[in-house]
Structure 1
Amino acid sequence: MSKAHEVCDLGEPFYACQCTIGEAPLYRPEDDTLHFVDALSDPPKIHILPLSDYNAQTTKDRALDLSDSISVAAFRKNHPNSYIGARLLGFAFIDEKTGEIENLKQMLPESARGKLRFNDGAVDSKGRFWAGSLDLTAMDLPLSDSCRPEGRLWRYDPGGTVTEHAERIYCSNGLGWSPDNKYMYYSDSYARVIWRYDYDEEKGTINNRIDFVDFREPNDDFTGATPGTAKEIPLHLKSGEPDGLVLDTEGNVWLALWGKGCVLCFDESGQLLREIVAKDAPYLTCTGWAGKNMDVLFCTSAYRGGLGGKDGGALFKINAGERWGVKGMEKFRFDG
């Protein structure tokens, strides 16, 4: 590393919900609520947690039981009680009051169950919903340039058109855009890399992929986009899996690192600025901004198969604005 980075403690959980795999924290300022999913619980759920007058002993969330796995959800601009989301095999609307799922477009065949599924996603500045899939069978294999995983990245437009933008993805995960919308950041967890694309905001297209942050180990036989373009990271973070991410107004990337129990903050050049460490939650999953000033960072986590530490599955909170003077941006809403 060219300079030392700050290391600090994530602290105790904010809300002890013990999700199987908590994901996609999403803030709604109108009623000061935080929404997040538990895609692999039985049944799958969307949690709605009130933040106004929050009390750790008495405040409870409202959990929507779902008939299908929803791995990410985003608000709709003109439908205040509805989400767009990625279900197990495609795109769907979800009713916030009832949890009813309206299937929009199935992208994966029924035969793909247990092999492929949708994962993370986000809405861009033009109201288009991006979401990608992961290949469970390829994730059992060593990283290799000879492997051709079947994960994909798609864009679902308000008119219902679907466009494929990336292929050969192991585990499609965090998506986010720079404040000026010139770049899109996209993590492949199992490939252990965050990519940065040039982004055409008007057309909704991506080009010129580079390695933004590289968590691969030297013996990984997977070169990805352009090896050597990413800055070095500390050895103890190597082999961590980059999960969900968001950006702040300065263009810094705030990433949950699966398997290493930390939230990392990188500047726009890929330089590591901060490492925020959880004591007993090794599987942090996704970050998201909240609060009336959008300066509070929440992070979900996982507790799956008896693994995940004492605090696994809980929701964590970082007062990023108070501590570092940074803030995020409200997430865009689907324009349909």
Structure 2
Amino acid sequence: MEPQLLLAAQTELGECPVWDADRNTLFFMDIIGQTLHAYDWASGKDRVMPLPALGGALALSRDGRLIAGLQTGIHTIDPLSGAVTFLVDPEPDKPDHRLNEGKCDPQGRFWVGSISILGRFPTGCLYRLEKDGRVTQVLDRISVPNTLAWQPDGQHMLFADSVTKQVWRFRYDAETGAIGERKVFIDTSDYKGMPDGIAVDADGGVWIAEFGGGAVHHYSAQGKLEGTVRVPASQVTSCVFAGPDLDRLVIITTKRLLDDRARQEQPHSGDLFIIEPGISGLPPHLYG
């Protein structure tokens, strides 16, 4: 599969792609650029809206709004006006952190990690925002929260602290949202880079972006490597199933951590690519 250019977004740190079927729109963030992008699938037009702080997490809400993790906490965003409304800050005592990697579970809770903006220190956490607005700390001592997803069996959650190069699988209690036994699901120690964003297909297979390795790796629902898609940009941050039939995989890249020479050698870093993976994805879970 040869990735094709979808959008020359030229983001400094493109992340958090989310497919909105109702609007036929792909949303994503430029974290460093502090912008929210809304790519219209039909017209190919990319609308860019400012954010009040560094971003890092994005999901859809049942009421039609977006829910976002920023440096200043969890907010909702009106996708039409771009208006941002504060909900709660899980870490009011950590101004040197921002929120990173957020997804909703099948029951409508929003999960989001935190990360130090000063370096890869193990000071981050993973939080769960309940539908009533309560926030629970689920994990601590996290350096780079990433690779967050739920398997279709409804009994397991995937998550990685990228610096460990291990994707963990946790036992997941759908009723309470609690996580239990942790096992290594995929060991990525052979990656040149580290595991970043993740997408889940209709067979329960997972597609994991390799940041620093210029690739997206496809694994079975059991964690067996099925194939690799090479991308003409080394800093691959995430991927998402998109399109009316969820049969396209959009891959997002970034310029982050590239020096001037590498930026010249990789002119499409910061752009979005697309492939036809031969399988459809699952629709995103919604908050609320």
**TM-score, shorter chain, exceeding 0.5:** yes
Check 1:138–1:51 CA distance in 2 against 1; reply closer, same or farther (3 A cut).
closer
Q: Separation in 2 of the partners of 1:34 and 1:199?
A: 29
Q: Which residue in 1 is equivalent to 2:18?
A: 26
Note if 1:40 corresponds to 2:41.
no
Residue 100 (structure 1) aligns with:
83
The whole-number CA distance in structure 1 between the counterparts of 2:159 and 2:86 is 25
Do the aligned residues in 1 keep the contact of 2:55 with 2:98 (CA within 8 Å)?
no
Give 1:260's match in structure 2, choosing from 213, 221, 226.
213
Deviation at 1:74, TM superposition (A): 1.3
Q: Structure 1: how far apart are the matches of 2:123 and 2:277?
A: 37
Offset of residue 215 of structure 1: 2.4
Equivalent residues of 1:89, 1:107 under 8 A apart: no
Q: Tell me, yes or no, if the aligned pair for 1:66 and 1:100 is still in contact at 8 Å.
A: no
Q: Give secondary structure in 2 for the equivalent of 1:67.
A: coil
CA contact (8 A) 1:179 1:248 kept: no
Partner of 2:276: 319
- Aligned residues of 2:54 and 2:98 also touching (Cα < 8 A): no
| Alignment partner of 1:193 out of 166, 182, 190 | 166
Give the partner amino acid of 1:128.
R
Residue identity matched to 2:148:
L
In percent, how many aligned pairs have the same letter? 30
Instruction: Provide the secondary structure at the position in 1 that maps to 2:5.
Output: coil
TM-score by length of 1: 0.80
Query: Is 1:156 paired with 2:129?
Result: yes
Q: CA deviation at 1:137?
A: 4.8
Q: CA RMSD in A?
A: 1.7
Does the C-alpha gap of structure 1 residues 135 and 31 become closer, same or farther in structure 2, counting only changes over 3 Å? Answer: closer
Distance, in Å, in 2 between the alignment partners of 1:89 and 1:207 is 29
3-state DSSP of counterpart to 1:131: strand
- 1:170-319 to 2 correspondence within 5 Å? 170-216=143-189, 235=190, 237=191, 239-279=192-232, 281-304=233-256, 306=260, 307=262, 309-319=266-276
Larger radius of gyration: 1
* Alignment-mate amino acid for residue 52 of structure 2: S
Offset of residue 105 of structure 1: 1.2
Q: Distance in 2 between matches of 1:130 and 1:76?
A: 13
Give the secondary structure class of the aligned counterpart of 2:227.
strand
Separation in structure 1 between the aligned mates of residue 95 and residue 184 of structure 2, nearest angstrom: 29
Contact persistence 2:246–2:283 (CA under 8 A): yes
Find the counterpart in structure 1 of residue 284 from structure 2: 331
Matched-pair contact (CA < 8 Å) for 1:184–1:199: yes
Query: TM (normalized to structure 2)?
Result: 0.93
- How much does 1:163 deviate? 0.9
Q: Read off the aligned partner of 1:66 and give its amino acid letter.
A: L
Structure 1: gaps (5+ residues): 1-7, 141-148, 217-234
CA distance in 2, matches of 1:136, 1:74: 22
User: Aligned partners of 1:244 and 1:39: how far apart in 2?
Assistant: 14
| Structure 2: unaligned runs, 5 residues or longer | none
For residues 195 and 89 of structure 1, what CA distance do their matches in structure 2 show?
Answer: 28
Displacement after TM superposition at 1:177 (Å): 0.7
Using the TM superposition, give the Cα deviation of residue 213 of structure 1 relative to its aligned residue in structure 2, in angstroms.
Answer: 1.5
Name the CA distance, whole Å, in 1 between partners of 2:269 and 2:165. Answer: 21
Task: Judge conservation of contact 2:197–2:208 (CA < 8 Å) in 1.
Answer: yes
The structure whose residues are more often strand, as a share, is 2
For residues 98 and 199 of structure 2, what CA distance do their matches in structure 1 show? 22
Q: How does 1:34-183 map to 2 (within 5 A)?
A: 34-41=26-33, 44-52=34-42, 54=43, 59-78=44-63, 80=64, 82-109=65-92, 112-113=95-96, 116-137=97-118, 139=120, 149-183=122-156
Structure-2 separation of matches of 1:296 and 1:121: 21
CA distance in 2 between counterparts of 1:328 and 1:291 reads 10
